[in-house]
């Protein structure tokens, strides 16, 4: 928690919510259609001369009964959202609304539980111990999945007039890896082909109220009525969810057996496993890998040359790609952290004040009242210009060296500081270290194979769209 300082004044939180019902709708239209997400926040920073203010957050009426939040947009105030002694995380994963429990088998999965609830600790401990037991499989399984991805990428480049959609190939690879890592088997050909689409629809129906599908502005009212006004139902994905559930249930005996030993019902454990695999893992990778390749791809040939040299030299010296080799690649590590900083996979964090709290921004202190919902927009907090020089620019070597490593405490993508480790008692992503490792390996594998590459980039509702225009085969091999 950021504590008050005698040098900084305690000020009332600026901003407001407007008239009931109308205020949330106005803010929703500003957010999605009139201003857009970033300008929505940027304009209010300017208006109130503050990175902390009151506003309404989508979806608003009629999905959310209360859209009022305290917005945090700087690196100093944001970490209050990690302090679960001060903020409650119950049913607030998606913000001011919660999707129907039908999407999760009629139960509240671990992500919707507060650490004060006993079940949260039991489930989180299960996840952490399970991931630890699979540690030796992380690298070989991922490299195997990546090898197939590269073959498909090169084939598409050859077939599609030198333009290849990366996202669809990456999604297929991610599903394959997630299923093989979290279960005891491999997906059959039908599940491998259909699985990514099943998870996409399941995710989309839950997260649609927080996004715009990008229709022309003339259709904005139509879009708003369809996806922002009433909750989308479960039935379009019901049969697909059952197929995913059954596939994991029949293939995940070791996980379910361990869950039973810890007193967790097998069905409840399996619904949690599907959520962990589909929402946290696959959903995260769906954004993470295109994001990393977007920023590395647009980083230019000089960055590519330096990465290729570091990757190939280190892998040769270490006798292969190992955990030790990954730790010795300082530029590689910095590049992945920088991608996670500049475009974090999960941009939103929410919590509800358990008591009156005093938070601190760079220039003021503010009192948040007990029961108020707190919202942090992470891309602004991790691009805080008072913390990061050239904060809007991708700087590949930003975190290299002692001074660079000191900035890691301001990287928040995992629902905690990068310098903190996940425990059963916090809400940090249980796969934090796995995510960082995968981000490093995908870059390593690229530069073991290729000297440079070029991409086209566009925005999607969930992360960037990346299309490869060229791949230049490596002129030097390990």
Residues annotated as binding site for heme? 429
Smallest Cα–Cα separation from 244: which of 110, 145, 104?
104
**What is the DSSP annotation of 58-71?**
SS-TTT-S--EEEE
Sheet holding 365-368, edge to edge: 10-11, 365-368, 357-360
The angle subtended at Cα 187 by Cα 185 and Cα 191, nearest 5°, is: 155
What's the alpha-carbon Rg for the chain, to the nearest Å?
Answer: 22
Binding-site residue ranges: 429
Distance CA 199, CA 169 (A): 15
Angle between helices 166-182 and 138-159 (to 10 degrees): 160
Distance CA 196, CA 201 (A): 9
Give the largest Cα separation in the chain, rounded. Answer: 66
Distance CA 427, CA 431 (A): 11
Please, which residues bridge with residue 330 across strands?
Answer: none
**What is the DSSP annotation of 335-362?**
HHHHHHHHS-SS-EEEEEESS-EEEE-S
Quick one: tokens of 376?
């942090």
Distance CA 78, CA 73 (A): 7
Smallest Cα–Cα separation from 470: which of 154, 219, 208?
154
- Assess contact for 210 and 239: CB atoms under 8 A: no
CA distances from 292 to 25, 166, 280, 347, 463 (A): 35, 12, 17, 15, 11
Going by their DSSP bridges, the two strands 365-368 and 10-11 should be labelled as parallel
Query: What distance, in Å, lies between the first and last C-alpha atoms of the chain?
Result: 48
Q: Which stretch of DSSP H or E encloses residue 280? A: none
* Dihedral (Cα; 205, 206, 207, 213), 10-degree rounding: 10
Distance CA 452, CA 445 (A): 12
Looking up tokens 């540690």, which residue turns up? 135
């Amino acid at each position: 928690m950021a504590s008050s300082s005698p040098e900084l004044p305690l000020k009332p939180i600026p901003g407001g919510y407007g008239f009931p019902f109308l205020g949330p709708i106005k803010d929703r239209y500003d957010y999605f259609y009139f201003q857009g997400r970033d300008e929505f926040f940027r304009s209010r920073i300017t208006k109130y001369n503050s990175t902390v203010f009151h506003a309404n957050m989508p979806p608003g009426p009629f999905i959310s009964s209360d859209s009022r939040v305290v917005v945090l947009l700087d690196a100093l105030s944001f970490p209050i959202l990690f302090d679960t002694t001060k903020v409650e995380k119950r049913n607030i994963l998606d913000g001011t609304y919660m999707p129907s429990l039908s999407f999760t088998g009629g139960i509240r999965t671990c992500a919707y539980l507060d650490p004060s609830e006993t079940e949260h600790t039991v489930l989180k401990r299960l996840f952490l111990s399970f991931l630890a037991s699979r540690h030796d499989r992380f690298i070989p399984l991922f490299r195997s999945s990546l090898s197939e991805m590269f073959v498909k990428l090169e084939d598409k480049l050859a077939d599609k007039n030198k333009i290849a959609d990366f996202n669809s190939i990456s999604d297929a690879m991610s599903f394959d890896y997630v299923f093989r890592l979290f279960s005891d088997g491999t997906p059959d050909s039908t599940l491998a082909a259909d699985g990514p689409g099943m998870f996409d629809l399941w995710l989309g129906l839950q997260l649609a109220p927080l996004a715009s599908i990008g229709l022309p502005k003339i259709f904005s009212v139509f879009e708003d009525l369809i996806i922002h006004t009433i909750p989308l139902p479960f039935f379009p994905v019901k049969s697909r969810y059952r197929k995913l559930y059954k596939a994991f249930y029949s293939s995940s005996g070791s996980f379910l057996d361990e869950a039973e030993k810890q007193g967790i019902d097998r069905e409840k454990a399996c619904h949690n496993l599907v959520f962990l695999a589909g929402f946290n893992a696959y959903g995260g990778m769906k954004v993470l890998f295109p994001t990393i390749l977007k920023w590395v791809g647009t980083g230019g040939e000089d960055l590519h040359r330096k990465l290729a040299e570091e990757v190939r030299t280190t892998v040769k010296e270490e006798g292969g790609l190992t955990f030790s080799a990954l730790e010795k690649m300082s530029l590689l590590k910095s590049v992945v952290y920088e991608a996670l900083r500049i475009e974090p996979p999960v941009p939103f964090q929410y919590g509800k004040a358990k008591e009156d709290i005093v938070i601190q921004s760079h220039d003021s202190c503010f009192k948040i009242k007990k029961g108020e919902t707190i919202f942090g927009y992470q891309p602004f907090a991790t691009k805080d210009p008072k913390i990061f020089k050239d904060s809007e620019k991708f700087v590949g070597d930003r975190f290299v060296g002692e001074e660079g490593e000191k900035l890691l405490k301001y990287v928040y993508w995992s629902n905690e500081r990068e310098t903190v480790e996940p425990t059963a008692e916090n809400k940090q992503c249980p796969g934090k270290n796995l995510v960082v490792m995968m981000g490093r390996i995908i870059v390593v594998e690229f530069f073991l194979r290729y000297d440079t590459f070029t991409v086209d980039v566009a925005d999607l509702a969930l992360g960037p769209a990346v299309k490869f225009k060229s791949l230049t085969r490596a002129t030097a091999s390990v």
